[in-house]
Amino acid sequence: MTLTADLVIATAVAYVGLLFVIAYLGDRQTRRGAASFLRSPFVYTLSISVYCTSWTFYGAVGTAARSGLEFLTIYLGPTLVFVGWWFILRRLVRISHDQRITSIADLLSSRFGKSSRLAVLITVLAVIAIAPYIALQLKAITSSIEAIAGSSEFGRGSLEGWDEVGLAFGVAAGMALFTILFGTRNVDAKEQHHGVVAAIAFEAVIKLTALIAVGIFVVYIGGGMDTIFADAARVGIDVHASNTFGDRWIAMLVLSAAAVICLPRQFQVTVVENSNENHLRTASWAFPAYMLAMSVFTLPIALFGLTFMPVGSNPDMFVLTLPLAQGQDWLALFAFIGGFSSATSMIILESIALSIMVSNHIVVPIMLRLTSGDGIGEGKGVRRLILNARRLSIVLILFLGFGYFYFTRTSDALAPIGLISFTGVAQFLPAILASLFWRDASARAAIAAVAVGFVVWLWSSLMPSFASSSSLVADVLANGPWGIAWLRPQALFGLDGLDPLTHAVFWSLFLNATVLILGSLASNQSALEHVQAALFLNVFRRTSTDAASMTGSATADDLFLVARRVLGHDRAVDLFSEEARIAGTPWSALEPSPAFIRKLERELAGSIGAASAHVMLSKVVSGDSISLEEVMQITDETQQAIEYSQELERTSTQLRATAEKLEQANRQLRRVDLQKDEFLSQVSHEVRTPMTAIRAFSEILLDEPGLDSTSRDRFMTTIHRESLRLTSLLDEILDLSALERGERAWENRRLDAEDTLDQAIRVCDALARQSAMTIRLGPRAERAIVRADPDRLSQVLINLISNAIKYNRAAEPEVEVRSRCQDGTYIIEVEDNGTGIDAAERERIFEKFYRGDHIATAGNAGAGLGLPISREIVARMNGTLELIATARAGACFRVSLPMAEPGARA
């Protein structure tokens, strides 16, 4: 068999036909609900493998031949992203399911307050950024056909007269037609294309098998892996990665990791086409394994090609030219189909993904703006319009790719073209990460950030690639615009010496992220942004309240019209019937609930994107509805009112507390005032009795001069005694008041309290003998060192013992004095066996001038100041004086003093 261009083109067309059949069958099976294997995690994984395009199939070998291990970065980056699927991809998938996200532009627009402006920006930028990538595929297909055509004498066949550009144009046109037939047959409720996914999965298997077949063949004829490396080393090829791991390595790793998230087609297959979150689990290892299998033979093929192919042959085409050179035409044809597979799958999916973005974010909004409310298309208008818009955008996208190919056709390597696209779409990454993890990122900042990143990309990455075809660009590259050196595209701000790719990646992403962060910090979010940010951030913490809903009084008819135009008659009828069934009312009486409107909005968003769905529904639902901004404002005001009332409540609680304190102080004042009055009257009373006696007797002495001397003496004695009593009373009052005000000079010093107690007992002993009673000594402490004033302590003890003697009415009166040391406290107890003190009097016994009833009746009553003075004195020695209850009837007073040397008993 001789391979000719005609043959490979015929094969390619046949292959496309096969794809079409697979897609058709896939769609039909899905509609029947029979194609469960199409929803298996492995088909999902294979569809993600659309990441491996002809860049991988042909270009990776080229990169390996030119820069060794560097080609691996393109696969290690995505491997890392998938290994860490739990942290980013899982969130993306969950959010997209919840919000019916249809594309990457939809995702960002939805997060940033359903901003149409952001969606338009992302769409336009994605279309521009992908152009080089499409060009890469066109170039790969064209080069592979050329390689086969050039391999034999009559190889060109009917291609005679076609140059490379014409061929590429033909390929682009064919691809456009094919993609239109393939991807735009219908608008799904959710943008899932099961037929296309089936075809893509099939292609993934084909390209992997083809590449491995070539790899095994090369290893076989090369004599094994080790021989290939040894041969390559012998002819002087650097098989050790001596210069590989530099800044460029890191930049490419970052780029490829970003690309597998941000590329529109990767977002489409990984996130939008995902029918079950758990498929991501399998993909997390199966997709890296797929890429690993794709890369195993890359290095051997490259090295073998470099070693044995003639100098000057294009390393990008080694996969094809090595079998050709060995006369293996069938293998070469298979390799061609593999490469063709990888290119077509990329072109199909990328242009479907981009066309969805263009129609949802550019065409539909324009249409909505042109038509006012009611006249949204006619009949199936919206759907037909959407489909036509998609078809048109597919054509546009492919010809943008062709345009780029045309202008850069003189550059030879595939991979650098792909990296330009990667750098372009990587500009979405900061915004995506912010939307997943940062609540305060704002729409205005996101728009500015993406725009800045993109301008830098245009300047330092895309524009330099035209240098070979435009002398103007070459001049700007060398000298900067108008000779401004610091604006040179590959040495911005004077940063030269970096690899151009690293330079572009660094500046674009750095400025992008900086603008996003600073802009968000400086600007405010709209209400809707606020709500959406919360929804995105809390996607795994579901709450039943969904604030971002429209409320209003749209009739079911209005809503149905909108739904039918976008979703199609059947789907709309289904939706409304279900709602009517749930509400339990007939169709005609259906009152759309906010929940239903929200559901409808989500359904619409699945077809035309969040921003457009929102605008479309607001047109119908407006009327007397409350806008979200108003709701937020009301909430704000309510919040303020609540805060204000809380403030008031706090103040009033404080006031209440203050008033209570005042009340308390007032009560105390009144009590003290009363005590003062009582004290005064008692003092007057106490003073009055002796004064009366003195006055009476002195008057008798004055009035009756003839009084006998005996009487005179008696009267004089009485006057003298009463004067003494008066003086002693006044002394006591002065003493007490001085003690209470702390005016007395006072010196506590270390002394043995037992000595003082003995002394007091001795003093009282005489008094006891007088009263014919005994002082019984109970158990005593041996030695008790306290800090006290000896005279004052003695005064207290004498007072207590003498009281016990004086007021004892028992038949055999007796006083017991005992003392002990306990827990660092010295305790003296004085107990009598008298009648004791009533419970009612116990409280008052320490009040001034208070004398118990039985005491008052006794003739030898004191002023009633002894106990108050004693208590005051003991308090000054940091001790206490109290009346304690005992088993016996009599009274028992206890003096407790802290010991200066606790435990010192010896």
Point out which residues bind another protein (CB under 8 A).
30-31, 39, 69, 72, 75-76, 79-80, 82-84, 86-87, 94, 97-100, 188-190, 192, 194, 224-227, 229-230, 239-242, 244-246, 249-250, 253, 275-278, 281-282, 284-285, 288-289, 292, 296, 299, 540, 542, 602
All residues at 6 or more sequence positions from 688 whose CB lies less than 8 Å from its CB, including other chains: none
Pairing of the two strands 892-898 and 880-884 = antiparallel
Nearer to another protein, 272 or 900 (CB): 272
What is the closest distance, in whole angstroms, from the C-beta atom of residue 203 to another protein in the complex?
22
Output the smallest distance, CB 103 to another protein, in A.
17
At closest approach, how far in Å is the CB of 215 from another protein? 14
Nearest CB to another protein, comparing residues 294 and 768: 294
Q: Which is nearer to another protein, 98 or 740 (CB)?
A: 98
Give counts: helices (H), strands (E), the chain. 36, 7
Q: How many Cα atoms within 13 Å fall on the side-chain side of residue 669? A: 6
* Cβ burial, residue 830 (10 Å; 0-12/13-18/19+): buried
Query: Closest separation between CB of residue 112 and another protein, Å?
Result: 20
Give which of 508, 499, 469 is closest to 135, Cα–Cα.
469
Residue-by-residue DSSP string for 450-507: HHHHHHHHIIIIIGGGGTTT-HHHHHHHHH-GGG-GGG-TTSGGG--SS-HHHHHHHH
| Chain centre distance of CA 635 | 23
Cβ atoms within 10 Å of 581's Cβ, excluding its own: 9
> Is 713 within 8 Å of 857 (Cβ atoms)?
no
Q: Tell the smallest beta-carbon distance from residue 286 to another protein (Å).
A: 8
Host H or E run for residue 893:
strand 892-898
| Cα distance between residue 774 and residue 763, in whole Å | 13
Sequence-distant (6+) residues with CB within 8 A of 628 are 527, 528, 531, 547, 548, 550
Reading the block at residue 15, the tokens are: 């292959």
- Classified as helix, coil or strand, 837 is coil
Closest CB to another protein among residues 186, 638: 186
End-to-end Cα distance, the chain = 126
For tokens 């004067």, the residue is 723
Going from the C-alpha of 572 to that of each of 275, 568, 892, the distances in angstroms are: 22, 6, 99
Label each residue of 293-351 as H, E or C: HHHCCHHHHHHHHHHHCCCCCCHHHHHHHHHHHCCCHHHHHHHHHHHHHHHHHHHHHHH
Q: Which is nearer to another protein, 77 or 690 (CB)?
A: 77
- Write the DSSP string, 736-765: HHHHHHT-S----EEEEHHHHHHHHHHHHH
Q: How far is the CB of 189 from another protein (least distance, A)?
A: 7
Task: Quote the strand ranges of 365-503, DSSP E.
Answer: none
Nearer Cβ to another protein, position 76 or 348? 76
How far is it, in rounded angstroms, from Cα 210 to Cα 213? 5
Tell me how crowded residue 40 is: count the other CB atoms within 10 A of its CB.
16
For the bound state, the minimum distance from the C-beta of residue 83 to another protein, rounded and expressed in Å, comes to 5
Q: What angle do CA 483, 487, 489 make, to 5 degrees?
A: 110
Containing H/E element for 829?
A: strand 825-832
CB 479 within 8 A of CB 505: no
**Distance in angstroms (rounded) separating the CA atoms of residues 467 and 128:** 18
Q: Read off the tokens for 5.
A: 């261009």
Which residue is it, tokens 């094994």? 224
Instruction: Determine contact, residues 473/463, Cβ cutoff 8 Å.
Output: yes
Task: State in angstroms the smallest separation of the CB of 456 from another protein.
Answer: 23
Backbone φ and ψ for 16, nearest 5 degrees, come out as: -60, -40
For residues 577 and 651, which CB has a smaller minimum distance to another protein in the complex? Answer: 577
Q: What is the dihedral of CA 75, 81, 85, 88, to 10 degrees?
A: -150
Q: Residue 814 forms beta bridges with which residues?
A: 774
Going by their DSSP bridges, the two strands 774-777 and 814-822 should be labelled as: parallel
* 429-437 and 89-99 helices, crossing angle to 10°: 80
